[in-house]
């Protein structure tokens, strides 16, 4: 990761970081759900 990006991320307020991480978790969960559905269709 770029040094400036790291410093920028450290300067962001914690609630914003938590919100972003929640969004990322939701997207990962959607992906996992989609993968599970795709596997079920294959069976």
Which pLDDT score, from 0 to 100, does residue 12 have? 67
Which tokens is 41 given? 């269709």
Task: Please give the pLDDT value at position 15.
Answer: 74
**1-43 pLDDT, tens per residue?**
588 887 777 776 677 778 888 888 988 888 888 887 777 776 6
pLDDT of residue 1: 58
Q: How far apart are CA 36 and CA 5, in angstroms?
A: 34
Structure tokens that stand for 2 in this block = 């770029």
């Amino acid at each position: 990761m770029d040094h400036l990006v790291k410093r920028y991320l450290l300067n962001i307020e914690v609630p914003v970081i938590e919100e972003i991480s929640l969004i990322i978790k939701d997207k990962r969960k959607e992906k996992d759900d989609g993968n599970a559905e795709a596997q079920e269709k294959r069976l």
